[in-house]
Chains A and B, each alone.
Chain A
Amino acid sequence: METDDVPSGSSPAAMLEQVVLVNEDIKQVVRNAFRINLMALNAILMARRAGSAAGFGIVAREMRELSEALVHSMRTLRALSDELLYAVTYVMRHARIEHVLARAATQSTRAQGNLREVLRATAARRIDLERHVAGQCAALATDLRSAVGISRVADSLAHMAKIEASWASDHRAGLDTVSEELASSLRGILPLLQALSTKLEAIHR
């Protein structure tokens, strides 16, 4: 994934279609991550209200730190996804010009001769642009991996929070609900992130 391979085998339009799908999924994941962050804040407030649930409070604060990291990673993901869309659209525009020039070159041997250098330069430029796209895919994949890592740790924390909730003497039901909500949201986000990695690999390939 992190090499400078040139993506091949699909037209820029087909690639744009895939990148648009990835971007739509990213928008969805980002919305979920922001919700998780709010839930983690809510867990801290609940712990404070429950006073005696010291263990829960510690876990909740760690959870909040992690979800802040997740939100940060999501912001990067959004920015990278924007850049990738821009880069792929740019390749598509370039490929259109290249295609028209190539058609002109097929009209006569004279035209072919006149355009040979131009076509060579245009193709070289396209390869550069495609390399740039590959680099952006790789950066996106790296950020996705870090988001998966954060979500996994957050998932285990949510389980710990559930155990701590069961020890609490006050507000046990409330603490239990908030940790269950966190756990189930994290269970929801993980497969989305993993599916995204797979889609991204398909584009890069």
Chain B
Amino acid sequence: MKVAQTIFQSGDHRWLAITRDPARPDYVIDTNEYLVTDGTQALMCDPGGLEIFPSVFSTVSNECNPNGITALFSSHQDPDVISSLALWLEFNPTIRCYTSWLWASFIPHFGGTRETFVPIPDQGMPIVLGALKLQAVPAHYLHSSGNFHLYDPAARLLFSGDVGAALLPIDAGLFVTDFAQHIRHAEGFHRRWMGSNEAKRDWCERAAGLDIDLLCPQHGAIYCGQDVQRFINWFDELEVGVVDRKAGT
């Protein structure tokens, strides 16, 4: 089973990180799932792959009643993000999935019907959960061509999908504690996966304008406080869209 940890709580408003699955086979990339709840209502960010669904579902059930999950937020179309969709729908067919309009007819290959998807326009949109007003923030081409992050202004938390991802050993902590040391595990990933320097610059400006205490990626560790700005600055200067000819062979 995975580990669940509350990363933000204020009254009924809570963010839960579901991370580090010791039972995960090593050929499957490790993912973080995030659950935001307002009282009994919950939304799951990047619910993960078909392979890890049993682990994610039982970990979530330990922390809250999964019947309260009314929505999924799929930052993009990748299998590690949303290939568990059919199983979530089997448990609750009324769950809605927010995703880029670009992928609304591709993700149904993993499951779901026309009614399942709420397509997000390119400029983003507000997403209401109970009393919370979340915001889908554009992050196109980072790395997917239709890509969104989810911002919670009340928690000052940005779920950043693959941006900020790092490939860490399984026993790594949940939070970044030594930025210089951590970022070494993120560099190769960002250079290769992120496709556009222009899109990256755009995102860095947008992110710098948001008030963020916690930057929560789908892989690796969470950046807090000063490390959020450190990450944005680092990313701004990094040249992306580079293929290392020696790697991947």
Partner-binding segment picked from B27-35, B49-57, B113-121, B175-183: B49-57
The interface residues of chain B lying within 8 Å CB-to-CB of A86 are 1, 54-55, 57-58
Minimum C-beta distance from B58 to chain A (A): 4
Q: What is the distance, in angstroms, from B65's C-beta to the closest C-beta of chain A?
A: 5
Let me know if A85 and B58 touch, CB within 8 A.
yes
Residue A13 lies at the interface, judged by CB distance under 8 Å to chain B: yes
Chain B residues within an 8 Å CB radius of A24 = 65
Q: Roughly how many angstroms separate A16 CA and B61 CA in the complex, as a whole number? A: 11
* Chain A residues whose CB sits within 8 angstroms of the CB of B54 once the complex forms: 86-87, 89-90, 93
Q: Closest CB of chain A to B83's CB: distance in Å?
A: 11
Assess whether B53 is in contact with A89, with CB atoms less than 8 Å apart: yes
- CB-CB under 8 A from A39, the residues of chain B are none
| CB closest chain-A residue, reference B111 | A96
Verify B87–A23 contact, CB threshold 8 A.
no
Distance A63 CA – B1 CA, assembled complex (angstroms): 35
B105 in contact (CB, < 8 A): no
CB contacts under 8 Å to A, within B50-93, are 50, 53-55, 57-58, 61-62, 65-67, 86-87, 90-91
Q: A24-B65, A82-B58 are in contact. Are A93 and B91 (CB under 8 A)?
A: no
Count of chain A residues near B, Cβ 8 A: 16
Chain A binding surface SS class: helix
Chain B residue with Cβ nearest A78: B62
Contact with B along A21-42 (1 / 0, CB 8 A): 0011000000000000000000
Contact B65 A13 (CB under 8 A): no
Q: Which of the four size classes fits the interface of chain B?
A: 10 to 19
* Bound CA span A89–B58, Å: 8
Which residue of A is nearest B90, CB measured? A13
B87→A92 contact, CB < 8 A: yes
Contacts of A92 in B (CB 8 A): 87, 90-91
- Contact among A12, A20, A85, A96 with B67 in the assembled complex (CB-CB below 8 Å): A20
Question: In residues 69-98 of chain A, which contact B (Cβ within 8 Å)?
Answer: 82, 85-87, 89-90, 92-93, 96
Contact between chains at B50 and A20 (CB < 8 Å): no
A2 at the binding interface (Cβ < 8 Å): no
Q: Which residues of B contact A12 (CB under 8 A)?
A: 90
Residues of B within 8 A of A201 (CB): none
* Chain A residue with Cβ nearest B54: A89
- Interface status of A4 (Cβ within 8 A of chain B): no
Closest B residue by C-beta to A17:
B91
Q: How far is the CA of A89 from the CA of B62 in the complex (A)?
A: 14
Contact A23 B91 (CB under 8 A): no
| Docked complex Cα distance between A17 and B69 (Å) | 13
Task: Give the CA-CA distance A85 to B53 in the complex, in Å.
Answer: 11
Please encode chain A, from 52 to 79, with 1 for each CB lying within 8 Å of some chain B CB and 0 for all others: 0000000000000000000000000000
- A89, B55: Cα distance in complex, Å: 8
B62 surroundings in chain A (CB, below 8 A): 82
CA distance A82 to B91 in the complex (A): 17
Residues of B within 8 A of A17 (CB): 91
| A176 CB → nearest B CB, Å | 37
B residues bordering A, Cβ < 8 Å?
A: 1, 50, 53-55, 57-58, 61-62, 65-67, 86-87, 90-91
Identify 27 residue pairs between A and B in the complex whose beta-carbon atoms are under 8 Å apart, listed by A's number.
Answer: A13-B90, A13-B91, A17-B91, A20-B65, A20-B66, A20-B91, A23-B61, A24-B65, A82-B1, A82-B58, A85-B57, A85-B61, A86-B1, A86-B54, A86-B55, A86-B57, A86-B58, A89-B54, A89-B57, A89-B58, A89-B87, A90-B54, A92-B87, A92-B90, A93-B53, A96-B50, A96-B87
